[in-house]
Amino acid sequence: MTYSDNRRRSAALPGLLIGLGCVSTAPIAIAAQAPAGPGPVYLTIGVAAVLPADVRFVDGDDAGEAALYGDDQSDAGTLGAGLEYGLAAGYRFGAFRAQVELALTGPFAYEGQSNYGGAGPVQPTDARMTARRLLLSGFYAFGDPGGRHLWAGGGLGANRYRLTDYIQRFPNPGDPSGRLRRGPGGDVPSTSLPEGTGYGFAWMLAAGLTVPLGGDLLLDFGYRYTDAGRIGTAAGDIEVVRYDEHGTRQLRRIPINPTVADLRHHSLTATLRWLP
């Protein structure tokens, strides 16, 4: 091998090393420039303390029967506090996460007052309600999604309710000896409404704080405002209990139109999030 051959090989060596370096680092550069993939699947289980909500029942759509309330009459009161239990499955995309969630409530007690003319200043009413709600929700993390951070989000879906044991009582009518007189044993005249079940459009807004618990567990604390759509009683027969002048109990069934009320409530939530 001549001196000139060695010289040519020496001159080519830096170029070869540079070429090999470019080839070896190319996958790293491509990986660094590739967009990050979606985050992990997660599951949640949680409970919410639903705060008392103001509710006002009025006449619903005309179903060809008599209206229960008529003009300027209604039944207004409060749906009491209760617990709501939730399950969800979701997927995280960086700071965003989306989930499908199912909420189930225990029985909520409704207590109100109707305002029929001539029925007296006190007309107590009560009922029971349970509900199921399915939402598609999305949330955004302000900070490290795997660490302590604030978040906000919202969701859309449907609410299914069941309203039962709805009764209106008239203990102190304007005319104690009139059509709303008490029975011989002091029995109070009453009106029982048909139960109602149905679906309504629902949406919610939420915000909260996430605290890591270590490992694959996160604990979410939050506040929610939920518009659960409309609830109410179905078209059907009311059961009217009255007492005649001889003290005889009389039961009449009268078909009426449905009644409706808008349900909006606030809740405080605690949710355990697991990344399997």
The pair of structure tokens assigned to 66 is 């008599």
CA angle 255-257-262, nearest 5°?
Answer: 140
User: What pLDDT, on a 0 to 100 scale, did the predictor assign at position 3?
Assistant: 38
pLDDT band at 214 (very low <50, low <70, confident <90, very high): confident
The residues, any chain, with a CB within 8 Å of residue 221's CB and separated by 6 or more, are 208, 209, 210, 211, 268, 269, 270
Give the angle subtended at the CA of 68 by the CAs of 65 and 70, to the nearest 5°: 105
pLDDT digits (tens, 9 = 90+) for 134-166: 999 999 999 999 899 999 999 999 999 999 999
Burial of 37 (0-12, 13-18, 19+ CB in 10 A): exposed
Place of tokens 């009764």: 167
- Cα separation, 21 vs 6, whole angstroms: 23
Distance CA 42, CA 228 (A): 26
Of 150, 44, 46, which Cα lies nearest the Cα of 100? 44
Compare 29 and 71 and report the one with higher pLDDT: 71
User: Are the C-beta atoms of 265 and 276 separated by less than 8 Å?
Assistant: no
Model pLDDT for residues 85-106, shown as the tens digit of each residue: 999 999 999 999 999 999 999 8
Separation of alpha carbons 132 and 171, rounded Å: 35
Global pTM reads: 0.82
Q: Is the pLDDT of residue 33 over 80?
A: no
The answer to whether the CB of 155 falls within 8 A of the CB of 138 is yes
State how far the Cα of 40 lies from the Cα of 137, in Å rounded to an integer: 16
Task: Give the confidence band of 71 by pLDDT, cuts at 50, 70, 90.
Answer: confident
Tell me the per-residue pLDDT of 127-142, one tens digit each, with 9 for 90 and over.
999 999 999 999 999 9
**What are the b/e assignments for 98-130, b being 16+ CB within 10 Å?**
ebebebebeebebebebebeebeeebbbebebb
Question: And the tokens for 229?
Answer: 């759509």
Tell whether the model's pLDDT for residue 216 goes beyond 70: yes
CA atoms within 13 A on the CB side of 190: 14
Name the nearest CA neighbour of 247 among 171, 191, 189: 189
Q: What percent of the chain has pLDDT over 70?
A: 86
Residue 66 DSSP one-character state:
B
